[in-house]
Amino acid sequence: FNPATVDGLMCRTTLSVDWQGNLSDCDFNQMLGLGLVPDQPRNIQGLREQDFANLFGRRIVTGRHCFGCTAGAGSSCQGSLS
């Protein structure tokens, strides 16, 4: 685990939307069926304008798979974070 990678993680600035409009913090969470935390909108159709502000700084659903993006120089869909 490299704490220097955390600020650049895609889950901090990007939402993943599946074909049914369900929201996840990242592509990995989406594939694992992990949506946003319960106090956040679960589907893009339920998203209202006032929800956008709440999405910034939200709690992110994490799991053991998250170490893949925080190891070494970090990782994202665009490659290394450094």
| The residue to which tokens 């994202």 are assigned | 76
What pLDDT is attached to residue 77?
58
The whole-angstrom distance between residue 18's C-alpha and the CA centroid of its chain comes to 13
pLDDT digits (tens, 9 = 90+) for 12-67: 988 999 999 999 999 999 999 999 998 888 899 888 876 788 888 889 999 999 99
Looking from the CA of 52 toward its CB, the CA atoms found within 13 Å total: 2
pLDDT at residue 76 in the model: 63
Of 9, 47, 3, nearest to 29 by C-alpha is 9
Rounded CA separation 41/15 (Å): 12
Query: Which tokens in the block code for residue 72?
Result: 């070494």
pLDDT at 53: 80
Asked whether the predicted pLDDT for residue 81 surpasses 60, the reply is: no
Name residue, tokens 């709440």.
Answer: 54
Global pTM value: 0.81
